[in-house]
Amino acid sequence: MKFQPKASHFIDGEYVESIAGKTIEVIYPATGETIAQLQAATPAIVEKALQSAAAAQKAWAAMTGTERGRILRRAADILRTRNYDLSVIETHDTGKPIQETLVADASAGADALEYFGGLAGSLTGEYIPLANGDFAYTIREPLGVCVGIGAWNYPIQIACFKAAPALACGNVMVFKPSETTPLSALKLAEVLMEAGAPKGIFNVVQGYGEVGSALVSDRRVAKVSLTGSVPTGRKVYAAAAQGMKHVTMELGGKSPLIIFDDADLDNAISGAIIGNFYSSGQICSNGTRVFVQKGIKTAFLDRLSARLITAKIGDPMEPEVNFGPMVSERQMEIVKAYIVKGVEEGARLAFGGRQLDRPGFYLEPTVFADVSDDMAIAREEIFGPVMSVLDFDTEEEVLVRANATEFGLAAGVFTKDLSRAHRVAKEFQAGTCYINTYNLAPAEAPFGGSKLSGVGRENSKLAINHFSEMKTVYISMNDLRAPY
């Protein structure tokens, strides 16, 4: 099999196999073919990974931040030189078009490694003057063994977004990729070793939810960073709470995208396309509730349809293809059921809605118009190429409706009115907001959700706080008085 790795797991600097685990079939979503077969970790493999990580942590933390950063930046360079090969793996694992994976996966992961590698040497505590010459200082310390658990939509990017800040701070990580996309995290482990990372600081174990669960509940683990759905987030957060572990939760969403009638319509339609159909709609922060002000509704729908017809759907390895299959048959069936539900609930199918008559898991880009707030397609995360268009009259009304969701990952607004843009951004109940753009997540800026969409932030200097803690040291410069 063309994409078969040397072994399923990467522990203590080398590939490790265990045939006793459950089989994980890796399927190419464009054809349905099996491209690799891996084994889920057994308890013995999980133990080996945690032991190796725990043993490696002290020496890694004892290196200077500059030394750790140099290794991360070297890893970023190696990822960039191998970007094409890594993109081919990612396209076969996820089904995303090669024109996407070339620019948004390993390369975004490299950005994170470079950014946190650059920060590593500047991580410090502070000096705090107190009365009469006394003082305190703080020491920024790593948390220890961190666990990263990934979703299947951006496999190597997610692995890097978690590993880079964790390692920069002097932590070690055991990473479990999604069972749907297990391949590229192994490559990241290889690259880190080639860049000079000591053995054991980044171990990869494969498996289903139970392997994730075993990692989260292990007493040696100090922190868990999960990217996944809200139901999984609830379980992982609860399990982490038993050991009072730190958590970062990057979870799902049902984000609003508001288009006012003064917006540049072509830009707004570009935003709606990027925010609904990139990666076949399998992006957590997608603006899937598109609120369009009534006066421009017809123009919006007409021009949107005219542009969607030009989408090049097909073999994701073809450079000009810009719309690929869904990640799995299961995910496609979930999305198809939502399309049926939308029709049943009375929404108007304005574009697409069908599975393509070809091998693989292809659905057309799909647009529902005349959607109302109470429909399931407007309330629940679909995680596929399905846009719901809702009408609105006023700013006050649309803000109330946009915020009337239990999720709070992202939100966007298109308007030429500067004051209104900032007013709306201020009112959004969401962790990541966009004005006249959509779906950016660069290494330099915080990314994450509020409400049910998550806890903590990835990327930016803030991620450092989520992977380290402060020890305070008090010093007396004076004689100490006691009451007796």
Mapping DSSP to helix (H, G, I), strand (E, B) and coil, where does residue 429 land? coil
With contacts defined by CB under 6 A, name the span among 91-99, 209-217, 273-281, 350-358 that binds ligand NAD: 209-217
Q: Which residue is nearest to ligand NAD (CB)?
A: 212
Residue 287 touching ligand NAD (CB under 6 A):
no
b/e sequence 58-93, b meaning 16+ C-beta within 10 Å: eebbeeebeebbbbbbbbbebbbebbeebbbbbbbb
Question: 153 or 293, CB closer to ligand NAD?
Answer: 153
- Structural element, H or E, at residue 140: strand 135-142
Closest CA to 154 of 285, 41, 242: 285
**Binding-residue pattern over the window 144 to 183 for ligand NAD, x denoting contact by CB under 6 A:** -----xxxxx----------------------x-xx----
User: Between residue 231 and residue 270, which ones bind ligand NAD under the rule CB under 6 A?
Assistant: 232, 235-236, 250-253
Question: Which of these is catalytic: 48, 96, 162, 254?
Answer: 162
Cα–Cα distance measured from residue 172 to residue 169, given in angstroms and rounded to the nearest whole number? 9
Query: Contact with ligand NAD (CB under 6 A): which of 118, 121, 209, 243?
Result: 209
Question: 65 or 95, CB closer to ligand NAD?
Answer: 95
With contacts defined by CB under 6 A, name the span among 2-10, 223-231, 318-326, 397-405 that binds ligand NAD: 223-231
Residue 227 touching ligand NAD (CB under 6 A):
yes
Find the shortest distance in angstroms from Cβ 253 to ligand NAD.
6
With contacts defined by CB under 6 A, name the span among 8-16, 108-116, 229-237, 370-378 that binds ligand NAD: 229-237
Residue 112 touching ligand NAD (CB under 6 A):
no
Q: Is 364 a catalytic residue?
A: no
Q: Is 250 a catalytic residue?
A: yes
Question: Which of these is catalytic: 160, 169, 284, 433?
Answer: 284
Query: Contact with ligand NAD (CB under 6 A): which of 350, 409, 413, 455?
Result: 409
CB 236 within 8 A of CB 226: yes
Find the shortest distance in angstroms from Cβ 194 to ligand NAD.
25
Q: Is 146 a catalytic residue?
A: no
CB 278 within 8 A of CB 311: no
**Strand 172-176 to 145-149 pairing:** parallel
Closest CA to 152 of 323, 282, 268: 282
Question: 190 or 250, CB closer to ligand NAD?
Answer: 250
User: Between residue 79 and residue 108, which ones bind ligand NAD under the rule CB under 6 A?
Assistant: none
Residue 22 touching ligand NAD (CB under 6 A):
no
Cα angle: 278, vertex 336, 410; to 5 degrees: 40
Task: Determine the number of helices (DSSP H) and then strands (DSSP E) in the chain.
Answer: 16, 22
Query: Contact with ligand NAD (CB under 6 A): which of 15, 135, 137, 208?
Result: 208
Residue 218 touching ligand NAD (CB under 6 A):
no
Mapping DSSP to helix (H, G, I), strand (E, B) and coil, where does residue 229 land? coil
User: Between residue 298 and residue 357, which ones bind ligand NAD under the rule CB under 6 A?
Assistant: none
CB 421 within 8 A of CB 415: yes
Question: 355 or 450, CB closer to ligand NAD?
Answer: 450
Q: Is 433 a catalytic residue?
A: no
In one-letter notation, the amino acid at residue 421 is A
Report H helices in 151-292. 155-168, 184-194, 209-216, 230-242, 265-277
Find the shortest distance in angstroms from Cβ 237 to ligand NAD.
10
Mapping DSSP to helix (H, G, I), strand (E, B) and coil, where does residue 212 land? helix
Cα–Cα distance measured from residue 435 to residue 415, given in angstroms and rounded to the nearest whole number? 8
Question: 415 or 439, CB closer to ligand NAD?
Answer: 439
With contacts defined by CB under 6 A, name the span among 24-32, 119-127, 210-218, 272-280 that binds ligand NAD: 210-218
Q: Please give the C-alpha separations between residue 46 and each of 81, 143, 163, 295, 474, in angstroms, as whole numbers.
A: 32, 20, 18, 58, 40
Find the shortest distance in angstroms from Cβ 247 to ligand NAD.
11
Question: 31 or 213, CB closer to ligand NAD?
Answer: 213
Residue 6: CB atoms within 10 Å = 11
Q: Which residue has the tokens 């010093």?
A: 475
Find the shortest distance in angstroms from Cβ 180 to ligand NAD.
6
Q: Which residues contact 299 (CB under 8 A, 6 or more apart)?
A: 265
Q: Which residues are catalytic?
A: 162, 250, 284, 458
Residues that bind ligand NAD (CB under 6 A): 149-153, 176, 178-179, 208-209, 212-213, 216, 227-229, 232, 235-236, 250-253, 284, 381, 383, 409, 449, 454
